[in-house]
Amino acid sequence: MATRAQPIQTTRPAWRHRFDIDRIFGYLGYVILIFYSFIALFPILVVVTNSFKEQRQVFREPYALPDPISFGGYETVLLRADFLRYFLNSFVIIVVVLFLVLLCGAMAAFTLSEYRFFGNTFLNIFFALGIMIPIRLGTVSLIEIMRTLELHGTILALILVYTAWGLPITIFIMSGFMRDV
């Protein structure tokens, strides 16, 4: 006749009940994240509350709640300034640049990841260097090129510069993705 198996007693050591390190570090992580969230969101809260104040009140009491609430800043931006035109210009630039960067970047990434040809490694390194070099180094020469091409101060100039600026990281990320697929 077989004997019935008894369940094994699994108890934690006594010190483990009183001092659960994993739980403490878990709570500490939450406390740190909540503290960081307050630090990150505080400037946004100050900007939003100050947007409902008069200019004098902003400089006098920047951290106080608005008393009385004023919409003068919004009136200035929406009615007196040409804000909607600026917003539309920014929207057009963003949409066109995003389309061009994704289109050209996807085609270049596919070519660099799928086909092996002479200079393939050089082009990959060239695009990786484009990520590492800051745009500020070429600002003066970009302005000179835009003046020479008579594009200075136009939307087309911004589209060309932003597209050229976004292509290296797009090609780098997409070619890595396409190699893995």
What are the pLDDT digits (tens) for 7-43?
Answer: 776 666 655 555 677 788 888 999 999 999 999 999 9
139 CA to centre of own chain: 22
Q: What is the pLDDT of residue 20?
A: 73
- How do the domains of the chain map onto residue ranges? 19-80, 83-180
Instruction: Please tell me the distance from the alpha carbon of residue 23 to that of residue 16, in angstroms, as a whole number.
Output: 11
Nearest to 112 by CA among 100, 104, 101, 123: 123
Instruction: Please tell me the distance from the alpha carbon of residue 63 to that of residue 57, in angstroms, as a whole number.
Output: 10
Instruction: Please tell me the distance from the alpha carbon of residue 143 to that of residue 145, in angstroms, as a whole number.
Output: 5
Q: What is the pLDDT of residue 110?
A: 93
CA atoms in the 13 A half-sphere facing the CB of 67: 6
Q: Is the pTM of this model over 0.85?
A: no
Per-residue pLDDT of the chain (181 residues; tens, 9 = 90+): 567 877 776 666 655 555 677 788 888 999 999 999 999 999 999 999 999 999 899 999 989 999 889 898 888 888 888 888 889 999 999 999 999 999 999 999 999 888 888 988 888 888 888 888 888 888 898 899 999 999 988 999 999 999 999 999 999 999 989 888 7
3-state secondary structure of 100: helix
14, burial (CB in 10 Å: exposed 0-12, middle 13-18, buried 19+): exposed
116 CA to centre of own chain: 33
Four-residue CA torsion sign, 87, 76, 68, 50: positive
Q: What is the pLDDT of residue 37?
A: 97
Q: What is the pLDDT of residue 127?
A: 85
ω into 68 cis (within 30 of 0): yes
Q: What is the pLDDT of residue 18?
A: 56
Q: What is the pLDDT of residue 11?
A: 66
Q: What is the pLDDT of residue 133?
A: 85
